Structure 1
């Protein structure tokens, strides 16, 4: 499936100032690989909101990763891999049929992730590719769907859309990626509430300090 959206769709009402995070972690437990999640969390009075009430999830973003503490504008993938960076860059959404549980990453019944960056061999989505394949293309970026259950969060159903390449700039509507899951086994339903919506980087480990920079982030939740 291919979806094309108006590049002017993202609204300006939820704009995050430029931010960065410099971190350095050794490799941890393979069952708990993520040390931290530096992120911008959407604070919107419409949350929690049912999927059936949503019209669109527009987003406009730019990010980069650098070795050390200096931010640049060009992704040097070879340099990052040479310093054994393992991290992703993603949107993270949590849902539940209960409004209160939907806002809790540890209690929500469902997690939906959209990976725009996947760096390092240890950086793998939870679970396995969904078969038969459920491909999705939004504004020229192709995504593959993975599914698994998170044993650390009450067997939470976790769906991850992974971009086919590191996408440091993206403009589009993520709603098709969410609604496609309502037809999947163990997926959320149209009555489920989105209670948590953030953009950031799951940090696994690296051989030296790394800096994650977000130079642009416009996100919104548009209801019907």
Structure 2
């Protein structure tokens, strides 16, 4: 269970817009994290301190989409949530994660990072698709439309779904003490227009995969968290 999501909402004149009308979408952010109330310099993570405090949290871009434009502008009513995790600590795992599964066959490479896709449903019944980076990306600037195209070109999300909300922040699951998450240089650049035919790959055969994706809730046991959020 997520206990807090300190975040900043990103805006662009073209939103909301159908997923199939996104020619390019560049997301950017720098971030740092560590125990205590003092922010770290940009791109600095105190891994040992977070481990000692038993911190479980992610750092993510969070997007909401719906075929109904009005619902796409409300995270409580949107039928689809799309997350891009650029940081993961402790026992934080995406919806759909299975501890017995080493890797799903749903992968995409954006820049130097490989992202693995998971799917699940939250307590409201929202379809949640989460792309998780193979390693923490404390500086992230990437054109992420291939991650969106992978979903609608393979029929996982309707191409007519409108992207309405985009935010950047950290979901807090558990920590024994105060944790400071600092973010800077966050930005979004949306280019509306017919989506180019990108090499987004195809859904692999589940029969050919020894680790098929699991559509389950995370089995991680999580408690409470205190997360101090600072934006510079």
TM range (shorter): 0.7 to 0.9
Query: Are the aligned partners of 1:96 and 1:188 in contact in 2 as well (CA < 8 Å)?
Result: no
CA apart distance, 1:199:
0.7
Alignment of 1:149-160 (within 5 A): 149-150=121-122, 152-153=123-124, 155-160=125-130
How many Å separate the matches in 2 of 1:134 and 1:114? 14
How many Å separate the matches in 2 of 1:85 and 1:170? 22
CA apart distance, 1:200:
0.6
How many Å separate the matches in 1 of 2:88 and 2:97? 15
The number of residues matched between the two structures is 188
Alignment of 1:159-170 (within 5 A): 159-170=129-140
Q: SS in structure 2 opposite 1:180? A: helix
Query: Are the aligned partners of 1:95 and 1:111 in contact in 2 as well (CA < 8 Å)?
Result: yes
Q: Determine whether 1:89 maps to 2:59.
A: yes
What's 2:152 paired with?
Answer: 182
Q: Determine whether 1:210 maps to 2:182.
A: no
How many Å separate the matches in 2 of 1:127 and 1:134? 12
1:54 pairs with one of 2, 13, 22: 22
How many Å separate the matches in 2 of 1:41 and 1:205? 23
1:44 pairs with one of 8, 12, 15: 12
CA apart distance, 1:44:
2.8
Q: TM-score, normalised by structure 1?
A: 0.79
Q: SS in structure 2 opposite 1:128? A: coil
How many Å separate the matches in 1 of 2:127 and 2:31? 27
**Where in structure 2 are there 5+ consecutive unaligned residues?**
194-232
Query: Are the aligned partners of 2:153 and 2:159 in contact in 1 as well (CA < 8 Å)?
Result: no
CA apart distance, 1:52:
1.8
Deviations 1:31-88 (A, max 9, x none): xx21111111023332211112111110221101011111113212121111111110
Query: Are the aligned partners of 1:91 and 1:114 in contact in 2 as well (CA < 8 Å)?
Result: yes
Q: Determine whether 1:136 maps to 2:108.
A: yes
How many Å separate the matches in 2 of 1:222 and 1:36? 31
How many Å separate the matches in 1 of 2:157 and 2:137? 26
How many Å separate the matches in 2 of 1:148 and 1:222? 29
Q: SS in structure 2 opposite 1:127? A: coil
Alignment of 1:187-198 (within 5 A): 187-198=156-167
CA apart distance, 1:184:
4.2
